[in-house]
Amino acid sequence: MKKAYNLSRELDFCIKDVKSRVDSRIIAFQVRPEIKEGEIFLRGFVHCPQQETALLDALGKIPGLGGRGIPIHSRLKILSRKKLRFFQVKTPWTDLRLNPKQKADLGTQVLIGSFVLHYFSKGEYCFCSEPTGYLGYVKKKDLIEKTKKDYIRWLNGPRGRILGEVVNGRVFLPPGAELPCADKAHVILPDGKVFRVDKNLLQFRNPSESKKPASLLKHAHSFLRAPYLWGGLSRKGIDCSGFAQLMYLLQNIPLPRDTCQQVGIGRLVGMLGDCSDLLPGDLLFFMGKEGRIIHVGISLGGDRFIHATYKDGIRESRIDDIDYSGGRYREWYILSRRILL
C-alpha cells in the first residue's frame, strides 16, 4: 500500500510539472493517471503531441519507476489531431465553464456572434476554445453549427463590433459582440438574418483590408539577415521573441518579452492546419519537445513567415520548410495570434 501511495504521489507531481510548462487555460492539458494491475494508464487529453512526448519522457525519469518494470500506456486524446467543427453563439451570451456541469466554475462568457472551435462533445456540452483561446465547456443549445467558410468570413472578413446595447424586438446585442457584416450598417445574425444597427453603435472593420500589417512587415524585412542573439533587440543581434516584440513596438503596440507570455495575447487564429485563416502580421507559435513554447514568427500571409533563427538570423520560411533540427516547422507549430485587430 505504501509503494502504491508513493507512486501515485510521484505521478501527480510529474504531471503537474509538465502541465505548468504552458497555460492550460489556452493550451489544453487535462491528464489523470490510473494504476491498474501493475501498469500505468494516462487518461484525458492534451493539445498537441509534444505535450504527450514531454509527459512520457518525464514519467520515465521518475526514480525507480523504470527499475520496477512498470509499463506506461498513453490513452490521451491529442486535440490538434481531431477534426475541428465550427459553432457560432446564437444567444446574447453563453457561459464557458471549466467542467461540463451547470454549477462548475465559470471561466468566461462568450457573446453572440462569436465563433467557438469545437473539439469534442460530452453530454449536453461541447469542449471548445472561444475567440481569445480560452478553453472550456459550452452548452450545445446556445450554439448553431456553421461551416469552415462561415468561420473564415467572420474571422478575416467584414465584421462589426457592437458598442452599446442594441434591443429591437427579440434581438438583443450586448456591447462587445462581434458579428459578420453585410455592409457598414448591417450585421448578419447567427440565424442568417440581416439586421440594421445604428452607425453610432457599430464599429466596422475588415481585417483582410487592414493597412497595419504593411508597416509592420516593412520594418521586419529591414531586419533580414540580422544575426541571432539570445536576449538581443537590435540589428546587431536579436532573438525570436525580441524580434516580434520590437516589430510590434514600432507599431505602438507593446508586447511582453518572452514567447510564453506573447502566446496569450490577442485573438486565436491559425487553428485550421492549412494556414487559410492567417493574415500578414499574425504571430505563429511553436512548442518544443519538452512541452514549452520556444519560438515565434511573424506571418507574411498563407504559409510564409519571417523569424529569427539560430543559424541564419532573421529569415523567411514556409511552414513545411526543414528547421535547424532536421524536422519541419509544421511538426512543432501549435497556434497563432492576431494582435493587429
Q: Is the pLDDT of residue 240 over 80?
A: yes
Mean pLDDT of 14-37: 95
The pLDDT value recorded for residue 234 is 96
The alpha-helical segments, DSSP class H, found in 131-205 are: 148-156
pLDDT at 5 over 60: no
User: What CA–CA distance (Å, rounded) separates 23 from 241?
Assistant: 17
30, pLDDT greater than 80: yes
pLDDT value at 8 more than 60: yes
Using only C-alpha atoms, the chain has a radius of gyration, in whole angstroms, of 22
Residue 107: is its pLDDT beyond 80?
yes
* Phi/psi-derived region of residue 237, left when phi > 0, alpha when psi is between -120 and 50, beta in every other case: left
CA distance 294 to 263: 10
Q: What is the pLDDT of residues 146-180, one digit of tens each?
A: 999 999 999 999 999 999 999 998 999 999 999 99
| Contact predicate 332/287, CB 8 Å | yes
Residue 115 backbone phi and psi in degrees, to 5: -95, 140
Instruction: Write down the pLDDT at residue 1.
Output: 41
> Looking at the domain 2-81, which fold is it?
Histidine-containing Protein; Chain: A; (3.30.1340)
Do the strands 283-287 and 333-338 form a parallel or antiparallel pair, or are they unpaired? antiparallel
**Which amino acids are annotated catalytic?**
240, 295, 307
Question: Model confidence at 2, in pLDDT bands (50, 70, 90)?
Answer: very low
Q: pLDDT category, 32, cuts 50, 70, 90? A: very high
| Mean pLDDT, rounded, for 268-297 | 96
Classify domain 212-338 at the CATH topology level.
endopeptidase fold (from Nostoc punctiforme) (3.90.1720)
Beta strands in 197-339 (DSSP E): 202-205, 233-234, 237-238, 267-269, 283-287, 293-301, 304-309, 313-318, 333-338
SS3 125: strand
Residue 326 reports pLDDT greater than 60 = yes
Mean pLDDT of 202-210: 95
CA angle 128, 77, 71 (to 5 degrees): 155
Distance CA 127, CA 85 (A): 11
Nearest to 139 by CA among 87, 179, 190: 87
pLDDT at 123 over 70: yes
Q: What pLDDT, on a 0 to 100 scale, did the predictor assign at position 198?
A: 95
Ranges of each domain in the chain: 2-81, 212-338
d(CA 146, CA 89): 10
Sign of CA dihedral 263, 267, 270, 272: positive
- Mean residue pLDDT across the chain: 94
